[in-house]
Amino acid sequence: MRDAYLVGAAQTDFGSFPDESYRSLFASAFEAARGSVPAGMDSDAVDEAVVGTLGVGGRQLGLSGPAATEHVGLHGIPTTRVENACAASGYAVRQAVQAVRSGMADVVLAGGVEIMTDTSGDATKYWLGVSGETEWERLSGTTFAGVYAQMADAHMAEYGTTSEQLSHVAVKNHRNGAKNPHAQLGFECSLEDAENAQTVADPLTLYHCCPTTDGAAVALIASEDAVAEYTDDPIRIAGVGAASDAVGLFQRDSYTGIEASRRAAEKAYRRAEIAPEDLDFAEVHDCFSIAEILAYEDLGFCEPGEGGKLVESGATALGGDLPVNTSGGLKSKGHPIGATGAGQVAEAFEQLSGDAGDRQVEGAARGLTHNVGGSGGAAVVHVFEKEQEVGR
C-alpha cells in the first residue's frame, strides 16, 4: 500500500451567499485548492474525485458529484458522491486516500459543498433532521439541538459539567474565528454573551450552537509516486480511522460519549503509530459546545468527564498545550454540512504549511481532524504530519 499525501487544500468563505450556487462555490474551492499546491497543479492531473454533500433543500440529489466536477472541467474522470450526513466530506477524504493507497489513482480530489441558507426555517430543520433516526426521533419532533441537549444533560448529571464550561468552548472558538477571514461568525463573544443568550434547547443557548451555512472545500491527495511533482515539503496522511454506530441516540448504551469517534480515533492513532499527546493541534466536530467536550474525551485528550475542565483550563486555546479548532470550528467558522470535513482538512493544511496567520500554532508538525455524522452515527478521523519534521 502506497503512502498518501495532502498537497493542497482550500475552502470558500463560509456564510450566506444568495448569489452563489453549489456549482460556483465548488468551483471557487477547487481553484483555491489548486492554487495552494506549492508547485501548482493542472486540472488534468486529477484522476478521480469524491464529493460530499447532503443536498439540503433537495437540489441535485442524484449525480450531484459529477454535476460539480463537470462544472470545473474535470470531464471523464470517475466522480462519486458521498453522503454521510455532516461527515460527508470527511468520508470523501477517506475514500480519496483509499484510492491513492490502492494504486487506482495518483491524484484524487476530495471535497464537499452545501447550500443551506436559502430555505425556510422549517425546511432547514427538516433537512437537518434527516440525519437523525427517522421513525423515533425526527418524526416525533426531536431536533438536533434537542438531541445534543440530552447529551449535555447526561454529561452534566454524570460528571458535573457546567453550563459555563460549555460557554468556554464558544468563547474560545469565536476568539479563533475572529482571526479567520473565512469564518461566518468572525467575531468574539464573552462568557456572559454565551451564558445569557436565548435558550435553544435547555441547557444549550444560542452561542452553544453552530449556524447553518453555505460553503465548499476541496483537498487534493497525491500518491508517494506523484507527490514530488507538487511539493518538496510533503504532508503525509499518516492515519485514517472511521466507524459507525446506531443512528438514533436512544439506541445507544451511553449518552456521554460517541463510540464511533472513539473507535475511529483508535484506528487512526494505531495506523499513524502515535498517541494523542503527539498531536500539535486538532480540528474537532463542535456542532454544539457539548460536542467539542465529548470529542476531547472520545479522542483521548483527557479522561471521560474531564472535558469541561480541559477547556476551562485554557489547554485547548491558541497557545495552550493542544490548540483545538484554531479555525473557529463549526461554532464560529460555520457548518455547511457537506463541506465541513474537507474544511477541517483545509485548516490542517494551512497549519502544517505555516500559513494560518494569526491562528498559527507555533512549530505545528502533526494535527488531527475529527468529523461526525448526525449525533454520532458515523465518524472519521485523519492524522496529518509534516514528514520531514516528524522524522519519518
Catalytic positions, please? 86, 335
**What type of residue is 365?**
A
Give the CA-trace dihedral at 337, 342, 347, 348, to 10 degrees.
Answer: 140
Q: Which residues contact 12 (CB under 8 A, 6 or more apart)?
A: 25, 28, 29, 32, 182, 215, 216, 217
**What DSSP string describes 51-120?**
EE---GGGTT-TTHHHHHHHHTT-TTS-EEEE-BTBTHHHHHHHHHHHHHHHTS-SEEEEEEEE--TTS-
Buried b (16+ CB within 10 A) or exposed e, 152-182: bbbbbeebebebebbbbbbbbbbbbbbbbeb
DSSP tag of 361: P
Distance CA 208, CA 173 (A): 11
Place of cell 464529493: 51
